Amino acid sequence: MLKAKIILVALGAALAVPQALAGSTPEEDRKETVEYFKQMFPEVPFEDFVNGQYALNEDRRSQWESMQDFPPYEFAVAEGQEMFETPFANGKTYASCFENGGIGIRQNYPYFDTEKNEVITLELAINRCREANGEEPLRWKKGAIASISAYMASTSQGNPINIKVPDDPDAMTAYQDGKEFYYSRRGQLNFSCASCHVQNPGKWIRADFLSPTVGQPANFPVHRSKWGELGTLHRRFAGCNNNVRAEPLPAQSEEYRNLEYFLTYMSNGLPVVGPATRP
């Protein structure tokens, strides 16, 4: 049995429900998840979870803090702003596609579109905006789309993540699919996302330090030293899948969007801190 469940039994949470009959709500899942990580890291202030490994490891934190004066993504954010503000050939801009002109809205993505019956991520919305205005879509994982997304995140810094699962069976299915993805073992090495980020956060896997589930998406897009540039969350998903020798799925595939939906919901209430840096 997983520690989570043992801890929760100790807390007297209602685990007596037979699993086949149970179907906890996203909010119940989130509360249990937050409680699990708070128990695991009682000394970490809740808001600090957005800083991933830096919240859990002093050495990593001081290395990170020394980078903050000249963050390596600054140029990309400026470039993203310029692209965001430059009109398309038809004279319109990205602002026309988004609520509040696209400023300070990162915390609402991804959301479930009950008309299209699908999860809309920020990057998907950016490319759909381009296509609606007669422009070619951008490539998904890095480059211009990461810069624009980074600029949009930077205008939202500090806003609490606010993902909603509307009362709609398709939205619930998307959330559940994302949850199942997160907990399903994949690849020849037989790891799920949870194998590392639920079962072993705060530990080292070779020279990499594992972050907890809660807070993970808050810092994207992220500048990784390993990449030497910004990348989107779906680039990271693909990298993780590849590490465990599972065939990565396409960026913005339904599976990855549903995964992002579940994962971001788990971070509700935590502040947007993207773009950020990671090793």
Residue 129 annotated as lining a ligand binding site: yes
CB of 195 to another protein, least distance (A): 4
Residues 186, 189, 192, CA angle at the centre, nearest 5°?
A: 40
Binding site for another protein (CB under 8 A): 1-2, 4-5, 8, 15, 17, 19, 22-24, 28-29, 32-33, 36, 179-181, 183-192, 194-196, 198-200, 203-207, 242, 245-247, 249, 255
Residue 113 φ then ψ, to 5°: -90, 110
Q: Where are the beta strands (DSSP E) in 39-94?
A: none
The contacts of residue 19 (CB under 8 Å, 6+ apart) are none
Residue 196 annotated as lining a ligand binding site: yes
Determine the Cα–Cα distance for residues 263 and 163; give it in Å rounded to an integer. Answer: 10
Catalytic residues: 240
CB of 81 to another protein, least distance (A): 36
Strand partners, 271: 160
CB of 193 to another protein, least distance (A): 11
For another protein, give the closer residue by CB, 22 or 67.
22
For another protein, give the closer residue by CB, 192 or 219.
192
Residue 128 annotated as lining a ligand binding site: no
Through-space distance between the first and last CA atoms of the chain, rounded to whole angstroms: 32
Q: Where are the beta strands (DSSP E) in 21-169?
A: 111-113, 118-120
Annotated binding site for substrate: 236
Annotated binding site for heme c: 97, 129, 193, 196-197, 240
